Amino acid sequence: MKRKEQTTWASCLVAGGLHAAMTVLAFPPYDWWYLSFVAYTPLILLALRARTLMRPFLVVWLTSALGWMVIQNWMAGVAIFGYPLMALYQGFWPALFVVLLARLAPQAKRELSRRRAHADAGVMRGHAAGAYASHKAVPAVLLAPLICVTIEFFRGRLFLGGYPWYFVGHPLINAPTLCQIADLFGAYGVSFFACACAALPADLVTLPLARRGRTSGVAKASFGLFGFVLVIWVGYGLMHMRSRPLQTSFPESARTIFIAAVQTNLPQNNKMRWTLPQQKDDFDHFVSITQAWAGKRPSDGRQPDLVVWPETMVPGLGLNQESLTTVAQFEESERLLVTGQAGYSGLYFNRRLEEVARDNLGVPLLVGASAVDGLAISAESSQDPELGPVIRIDPKWDTQYNSSYLYLPDGTQATARYDKLVPTPIGERIPILYRWPKLQTLVGKIGSASSFNVSMGIGTAAVRHQVPTASAGTVRVATPICYESTVPRLCRRLVWSRGTGEDDQKDSDRMTRAADVLINMTNDGWFGNHAGGREQHLQMGRFRCIENRTPMIRAANTGVSAAIDAAGRLIEAGPTVPTGRADWNAEGVLFAEVALPDIEAGTAPLYARVGDLFAWLCLLTIVVWTAGKFVLGR
């Protein structure tokens, strides 16, 4: 009787459903992070036992897409058409994982089927067939993590500009000891180890464990490899955690920076329809919060070294000097206000920030705002049938940037300005379509209901702000904006450079620290009422701290503002002033002090020196393995 060769629908649904459910529960807001250790186990078992691939591929794609609709439910409010497409996009990768593993791993179950077929034909008998299966079997503990990292690296960095969110290792940041190895291999290394844990049960089920009363060589290799990985993984983490105890108070001799991060609570739907009068009212409110709460910590009257605002909380046509000059010239020559009937000068926001830094704070103020190149403002008179004579003020520009600015204690704006280097996919640049600006703008309006500005400019230099402090001297501050804190290569570029420590210096093979602290200015209002997206954003920022051994302060509109040490541990999360405000999106001020790296003893971690080399090697291994399997017929 012919044996059934199809993988059943039920087994595919069970495997795909379990993987999707565990993935959902491992990530915020549920935070069952320990499920990351077994989230891939159902897929690995399915792949190793699959006799056909189309059915598992389609079912896993569908079930994973449904899971991603739960994880990324915040997208429904900002990109109604992009929401299901993004779920299908994310769901494709687990399905691809199943196909690659099934193709590349001649594992025990599949080999057993072949062995029986050969035995029926009289080709192999007894121990010879068993030896064949044992010889051909490859430990999933080795192959599955290689495929997992390859796929995460491909989708996180290479494909369509990359989307490095929701790696299987990200939830493990809730157990920071298990993530310290990220300073060697990046977050990809943590995913490798998480997937290796998921593969061990699959090896126990599918590998030929014994031959003639002895443990088989393949099983020994699997268990030995897993044991080696586990010892290195946990041992390395314990070593670093013991050498970096969590500090919330410091001796006077310690080199630290004390920062006040202002957390605003401006809903994104308000910001998308930000009228000129509302812009001024909201800005004035942010100023009042800063004046009331950020000047000194109420508990001890301590003055911060730096006050930080979130991303783009300063309205207007841009704070860059070119734009300010154009606005001043227009208002002086035309005797008109750029804001028209709103009744305030286009220079209002810059002047108020100068006053706040000089007269109210007396310390540097770091803010997020726009910058525009080629600003031109025109005024045209016309006759309205109802209103009578009307003057239409029309500002136009060539390029708009998402930027950070530093105001010094004397009220002057520092010369250096950081422009965002990596645009948010879909939100600020649509992959591929950005080559055709008009088409990109049209698709952006259709797909996101005009929620996004998909024509944002991109900066050209990794600018760091030089912040003067009383106790730590000049502190070099790098400001990854919003999405940029999730991009490993970008944060590495901001913190480290080759040679002199200045941007784009390539005169030395030695990595030099160029930034002492990361400040992530972000507008997380895009997540609406969904806390999960905000917390995942925070999780990825914690990995950047480990990879670069650099602390981070987050100033977030709608939360979650936080302070993170160089080991990725949360020092504070959410506003500390006013007290009694426990909501993650409550407006207030986070006061936090973080230890700065020792400049004299500062050695770049391996990840800072080699970047994503580990992920590249995983990718190369799978490419060569695949070529050997399909091209060479081996």
What local confidence, expressed as pLDDT, does residue 137 receive?
65
What local confidence, expressed as pLDDT, does residue 108 receive?
42
For the cut 70, the answer to whether the pLDDT of residue 54 exceeds it is yes
What local confidence, expressed as pLDDT, does residue 601 receive?
57
Q: Provide the 8-state DSSP code for 577.
A: B
Tell me the pLDDT band of 215, cut-offs 50, 70 and 90. low
How would you class 139 by CB atoms within 10 Å of its CB: exposed for 0-12, middle for 13-18, buried for 19 or more? buried
For the cut 70, the answer to whether the pLDDT of residue 204 exceeds it is yes
Structure tokens at 230: 């586990």
The C-alpha angle 302, 602, 192, rounded to 5 degrees, equals 105
Q: Token match 């051909």: residue?
A: 136
Structure tokens at 551: 């602390």
**Residue 567 to residues 230, 238, 417, Cα–Cα distance (Å):** 20, 11, 29
For the cut 70, the answer to whether the pLDDT of residue 274 exceeds it is yes
136 vs 220 pLDDT, higher one: 220
Neighbours of 3 (CB within 10 A): 9
What local confidence, expressed as pLDDT, does residue 145 receive?
97
For the cut 70, the answer to whether the pLDDT of residue 567 exceeds it is yes
Structure tokens at 25: 């529960």
Which DSSP helix (H) or strand (E) runs through 194? Answer: helix 187-206
128 vs 189 pLDDT, higher one: 189
Phi, psi (deg, nearest 5) at residue 481: -100, 120
Residue 409: partners with Cβ closer than 8 Å, 6 or more residues away? 357, 358, 361, 362, 363, 364, 468
Mean pLDDT in residue range 475-487? 98
Q: Provide the 8-state DSSP code for 545.
A: H
User: pTM for this structure?
Assistant: 0.91
Give the tens place of pLDDT for each residue, 586-619.
899 999 999 999 866 568 999 999 999 999 999 9
Give the tens place of pLDDT for each residue, 277-314.
999 999 999 999 999 999 999 989 999 999 999 999 99
What local confidence, expressed as pLDDT, does residue 440 receive?
64
Sheet holding 588-595, edge to edge: 418-419, 399-407, 365-373, 306-308, 256-263, 588-595
What local confidence, expressed as pLDDT, does residue 381 receive?
84
Mean pLDDT in residue range 534-546? 97
What local confidence, expressed as pLDDT, does residue 490 receive?
98
Q: Which candidate, 39, 18, 14, 30, places its Cα nearest to that of 167?
A: 39
Mean residue pLDDT of the chain comes to 87
Given a contact cutoff of 8 angstroms between Cβ atoms, the answer to whether 359 and 409 are in contact is: no
Which DSSP helix (H) or strand (E) runs through 442? Answer: helix 437-448
Q: How far apart are CA 212 and CA 209, in angstroms?
A: 10
Mean pLDDT in residue range 200-217? 68
Residue 115: partners with Cβ closer than 8 Å, 6 or more residues away? 124, 129, 130, 132, 133
Alpha carbon 188 to chain centroid, angstroms: 13
116 vs 101 pLDDT, higher one: 101
Q: How far apart are CA 621 and CA 633, in angstroms?
A: 17
What local confidence, expressed as pLDDT, does residue 474 receive?
97
Q: Which residues pair with 521 in a beta bridge?
A: 481, 555
Alpha carbon 55 to chain centroid, angstroms: 33
Task: Please provide the DSSP assignment of 302-353 as one string.
Answer: PPPSEEE--TT-B-SS--SHHHHHHHHHHHHHH---TTGGG-S-TTHHHHHH
- Among residues of the chain, what percentage have pLDDT more than 70? 84
Q: Provide the 8-state DSSP code for 266.
A: -
Tell me the pLDDT band of 252, cut-offs 50, 70 and 90. confident
Residue 207: partners with Cβ closer than 8 Å, 6 or more residues away? 107, 108, 137, 139, 216, 218, 219, 222
Among the listed ranges 108-112, 422-426, 525-529, which one has the minimum average pLDDT value?
108-112
Neighbours of 378 (CB within 10 A): 11
Residue 430: partners with Cβ closer than 8 Å, 6 or more residues away? 440, 443, 444, 454
What local confidence, expressed as pLDDT, does residue 605 receive?
95
What local confidence, expressed as pLDDT, does residue 435 receive?
64
Alpha carbon 63 to chain centroid, angstroms: 24
Among the listed ranges 41-45, 95-99, 207-211, 260-264, which one has the minimum average pLDDT value?
207-211
Neighbours of 333 (CB within 10 A): 9
For the cut 50, the answer to whether the pLDDT of residue 132 exceeds it is no
What local confidence, expressed as pLDDT, does residue 502 receive?
53
What local confidence, expressed as pLDDT, does residue 602 receive?
60
For the cut 60, the answer to whether the pLDDT of residue 125 exceeds it is no
Give the tens place of pLDDT for each residue, 414-466.
999 999 999 988 767 666 666 666 666 666 666 554 456 667 899 999 999 99
Q: Provide the 8-state DSSP code for 413.
A: B
What local confidence, expressed as pLDDT, does residue 386 receive?
72
How would you class 610 by CB atoms within 10 Å of its CB: exposed for 0-12, middle for 13-18, buried for 19 or more? middle
